[in-house]
């Protein structure tokens, strides 16, 4: 069974602390929206869908903590909490999507009174979690025919149970192929600087017995050249209307490599990851994180002290490198724009 | 001044222990050929030209330790030492080149007697070191016009003073541009798994005040996409007759990225790196090193215990991705085969 990334328990948000995997399975208990914001910022929880769920639960927690009896001051305070949460990480659109959904619950139910709204917000956060797991299973179902018997599948970072409510997006498709006994093997790129591939994907797959081999990020080209990779599947942090995909730094490079070697490059993502407001990837903000994430590991410097560093956490893969996007509503192939518009029409972010 | 990678001192080989950089400047003193072999295997010294010099000095040390008075048994024992040294690392051709040059000295001077040959071997090893530094300065001179004012130059791994007798190949061209006050900036990829870019290139450039920015390997594509890289220069461990280049794992990926972005991709290497016996890169053996180099850092596991790992130490970049090869005798541009044959005719490996 896949790990429990996030749960709501006795009016607390319990988060599996991904910074400490694979060494320890430790949980962070958040009792306030600001504790959830901190968990998102410091990447105790990460992955676009998981961040969305955490944000929704953070809002629910925040709502419970507001003393105001009248809706207007209550909603003012809640909006301020939303704003702080929204700024926690700029690239993953699911964060904004979840916050807008939670605000929608407030607005649709304001005449029911603050206490009722609080209960509805908790229910909505729980619904977002439950739906996300179902969505991922549907993504797995939709994508299953893209995986053939004995395929070796390259994945980057972690788009697994740990990046979602459970089951995973890219790893959801992989899980489904494994359940279908297709004899697959996964190649996990370690994903510097924070090693989500080595620490999280390898851990998540290993504990379910799915064969996984770890490589450094710069080895993917070599394995493709040797004919050892059949396809790539990654997740996404935000997808623009034209199909450009923002995802973990290094994704763009893998997509170019895949194209150069004639290997399919698939993106698996729920509709909550689509940003209909962004025409192209150029409009997606790329978070640049602290230098120390690159220059140190476990508190120790791996380069000369004071070294200058660049640390973009994401990159944008132009749609021309993407073979197909696997959503819970079906597989979208190029040309993306029209089909994505249809599919995201009702439920898209 | 560039660091002293390797020196001959009182019949010992003194090697700057690159495994401990940038934390400590510690030297390994080798008193036997087997100690030198171990230093090469465990990468206390690395980089194709530096390995060649170390091998030559290892042979000289080995020769001094042979008690035989007659040439034939002496040469038999020395050949056995050569064989062990040659097997230390399979990809860098300079190792073989240096051993063949040392054996040539034995064969050309056998009638002078064993003691004289021992002295000549020591002199030859010292000559190889001195020539290598001169060669690198000539590579810098030859390549200087490829660097323009204010260029940002991407380099991978370490092809610097530390990879050679001194001054460096790729970093030799960069040093020359710096000496010419061209206002350059260097982007150093950290170069997983052993972090030669973060530990060695960043250290070597920083101590000379050459501006350097560290990135994780998977960030190069993003920076190229943003227009932040003007050109790439890397070293080589072996170059085939058709211009295919074996170099540190990840080089192939960078070359593909450079081509995709229309950025020149240069290889800087001495003629001792050319393997006239290899028609194409397919004939170059790729060393696969221990899993623990990928799955652990500083003795600590960064992935689940027992994880399966691939660890190819090199890859081959087909010549179609190489814009030019910078040698001490000039810049070779495509089509490579004929021109490389001319240039390596007399002095090539």
Q: Do A60 and A160 fall within a single domain?
A: no
Q: Which of A22, A217, A221 faces B252 most closely, judged by CB atoms?
A: A221
Distance of alpha carbon B271 from the chain centroid: 12
Q: Do B208 and B251 fall within a single domain?
A: yes
Upper half-sphere CA count for residue A193 (Cβ side, 13 Å): 27
Question: Does A150 have pLDDT greater than 80?
Answer: yes
**Stretch B137-162: mean pLDDT, rounded?**
98
Q: What does the pLDDT read at residue B345?
A: 78
Burial class (CB in 10 A: 0-12, 13-18, 19+), B262: exposed
Q: Do A108 and A221 fall within a single domain?
A: no
Question: Does A347 have pLDDT greater than 80?
Answer: no
**Which one of the listed residues B132, B151, B237, B244 is annotated catalytic?**
B237
- The percent of residues in chain A predicted with pLDDT above 90, rounded, is 97
A175, A210 Cβ separation under 8 angstroms:
yes
Q: What does the pLDDT read at residue B3?
A: 86
* Range 177-206 of A in CB contact (< 8 A) with B: 187, 189-193, 195, 198-199, 202-203, 206
Please check whether residue B132 lies inside any domain of the structure: yes
Instruction: Verify whether the Cβ–Cβ distance B206 to A312 is below 8 Å.
Output: no
Q: Give catalytic status of residue B237 as yes or no.
A: yes
The last residue of one of the domains, among A87, A102, A137, is A137
Q: What does the pLDDT read at residue A1?
A: 75
Confidence class for position B346, pLDDT limits 50, 70, 90: low
Instruction: Verify whether the Cβ–Cβ distance B294 to A215 is below 8 Å.
Output: yes
CATH number at B118 reads: 1.20.120.420
> Residue A197's closest chain B neighbor by CA?
B303
Question: Does A303 have pLDDT greater than 80?
Answer: yes
**Stretch B96-109: mean pLDDT, rounded?**
97
**Which one of the listed residues A237, A244, A275, A315 is annotated catalytic?**
A237
pLDDT in tens, B21-44: 999 999 999 999 999 999 999 999
Please check whether residue B229 lies inside any domain of the structure: yes
Q: Which residues of chain B are within 8 Å of residue A316 when distances are taken between CB atoms?
A: 225
A299 in contact with chain B, both atoms CB, cutoff 8 A: no
Please check whether residue B1 lies inside any domain of the structure: no
Instruction: Verify whether the Cβ–Cβ distance A294 to B206 is below 8 Å.
Output: no
Q: Say if the ipTM goes beyond 0.90.
A: yes
The last residue of one of the domains, among A137, A154, A174, is A137
Confidence class for position A75, pLDDT limits 50, 70, 90: very high
As a whole number, the mean pLDDT across chain A is 96
pLDDT in tens, B166-219: 999 999 999 999 999 999 999 999 999 999 999 999 999 999 999 999 999 999
Q: Do A228 and A262 fall within a single domain?
A: yes
Please check whether residue B270 lies inside any domain of the structure: yes
Q: Which of A22, A192, A310 faces B192 most closely, judged by CB atoms?
A: A192
pLDDT in tens, A34-72: 999 999 999 999 999 999 999 999 999 999 999 999 999
- The percent of residues in chain A predicted with pLDDT above 70, rounded, is 99
Please check whether residue A326 lies inside any domain of the structure: yes
B310 in contact with chain A, both atoms CB, cutoff 8 A: yes
Instruction: Verify whether the Cβ–Cβ distance B303 to A199 is below 8 Å.
Output: yes
**Stretch A216-241: mean pLDDT, rounded?**
98
Question: Does A348 have pLDDT greater than 50?
Answer: no
Instruction: Verify whether the Cβ–Cβ distance A221 to B256 is below 8 Å.
Output: yes
Q: What does the pLDDT read at residue A124?
A: 98
Q: Do B147 and B288 fall within a single domain?
A: yes
Q: Which residues of chain B are within 8 Å of residue A207 when distances are taken between CB atoms?
A: 304
Q: Do A152 and A118 fall within a single domain?
A: no
> Residue B313's closest chain A neighbor by CA?
A219
Q: Do B261 and B310 fall within a single domain?
A: yes
The domain tally of chain B equals: 2
Question: Does B244 have pLDDT greater than 70?
Answer: yes
Question: Does A196 have pLDDT greater than 90?
Answer: yes
The last residue of one of the domains, among A137, A169, A189, is A137
The pairing of strands A308-309 and B212-215 is parallel
Instruction: Verify whether the Cβ–Cβ distance B214 to A294 is below 8 Å.
Output: yes
Please check whether residue A1 lies inside any domain of the structure: no
**Lowest mean pLDDT segment, chosen from A193-202, B54-63, B334-343:** B334-343
Q: Do B341 and B316 fall within a single domain?
A: yes
B303, B293 Cβ separation under 8 angstroms:
no
Residues B223-261: b if buried by 16+ CB within 10 A, e if exposed: bbbeeebbbbbbbbbbbbbbbbbbbbbbbbbbbbbbbbb
Please check whether residue A63 lies inside any domain of the structure: yes
Q: Do A131 and A146 fall within a single domain?
A: no
Q: Do A131 and A149 fall within a single domain?
A: no
Q: Do B220 and B77 fall within a single domain?
A: no
Please indicate, yes or no, whether the overall pTM of this predicted structure exceeds 0.90.
Answer: yes
Q: What does the pLDDT read at residue B141?
A: 98
Calpha distance A117→B292 (Å, rounded): 54
Query: CA dist A88 to A33, A96, A349, B185, B301, Å?
Result: 11, 11, 18, 32, 30
Confidence class for position A74, pLDDT limits 50, 70, 90: very high
Q: Do A278 and A341 fall within a single domain?
A: yes
**Stretch A121-133: mean pLDDT, rounded?**
98
Please check whether residue A278 lies inside any domain of the structure: yes
CATH number at B179 reads: 3.40.50.10470
Tell me the residue range of the domain where B78 lies: 6-137
Instruction: Verify whether the Cβ–Cβ distance B193 to A216 is below 8 Å.
Output: yes
Question: Cα–Cα–Cα angle for B6, B7, B13, nearest 5°?
Answer: 90
As a whole number, the mean pLDDT across chain B is 96
Q: What does the pLDDT read at residue A346?
A: 52
């Amino acid at each position: 069974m896949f790990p429990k990334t996030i749960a709501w328990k006795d009016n607390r948000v319990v988060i599996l602390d991904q910074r400490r995997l694979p060494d320890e399975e430790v949980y962070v208990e958040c009792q306030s929206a600001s504790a959830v914001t901190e968990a998102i910022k410091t990447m105790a929880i990460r992955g676009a869908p998981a961040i969305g769920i955490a944000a929704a639960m953070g809002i629910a927690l925040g709502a419970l903590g507001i003393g105001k009896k009248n809706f207007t001051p209550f909603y003012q305070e809640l909006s301020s909490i939303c704003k702080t949460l929204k700024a926690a990480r700029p690239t993953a659109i699911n964060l904004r999507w979840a916050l807008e959904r939670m605000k929608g619950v407030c607005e649709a139910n304001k005449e029911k009174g603050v206490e009722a709204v609080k209960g509805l917000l908790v229910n909505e956060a729980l619904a977002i979690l439950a739906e996300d797991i179902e969505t991922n299973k549907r993504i797995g179902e939709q994508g299953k025919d893209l995986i053939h018997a004995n395929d070796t599948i390259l994945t980057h970072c972690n788009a697994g149970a740990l990046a979602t409510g459970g089951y995973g997006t890219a790893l959801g498709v992989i899980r489904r192929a494994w359940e279908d006994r297709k004899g697959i093997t996964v190649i996990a790129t370690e994903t510097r600087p924070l090693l989500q591939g080595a620490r999280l994907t390898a851990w998540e797959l290993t504990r379910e017995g799915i064969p996984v081999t770890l490589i450094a990020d710069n080895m993917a080209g070599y394995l493709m050249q040797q004919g050892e990779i059949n396809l790539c599947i990654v997740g996404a942090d935000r997808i623009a209307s034209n199909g450009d995909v923002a995802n973990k730094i290094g994704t763009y490079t893998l997509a170019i490599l895949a194209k150069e070697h004639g290997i399919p490059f698939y993106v698996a993502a729920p509709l909550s990851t689509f940003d209909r407001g962004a025409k192209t990837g150029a409009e997606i903000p790329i978070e640049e994180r602290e230098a120390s994430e690159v220059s140190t590991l476990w508190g120790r410097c791996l380069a000369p002290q004071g070294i200058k560093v660049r640390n973009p956490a994401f990159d944008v893969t132009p749609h021309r490198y993407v073979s197909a996007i696997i959503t819970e509503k079906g597989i979208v192939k190029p040309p993306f724009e029209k089909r994505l518009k249809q599919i995201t029409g009702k439920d898209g972010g």
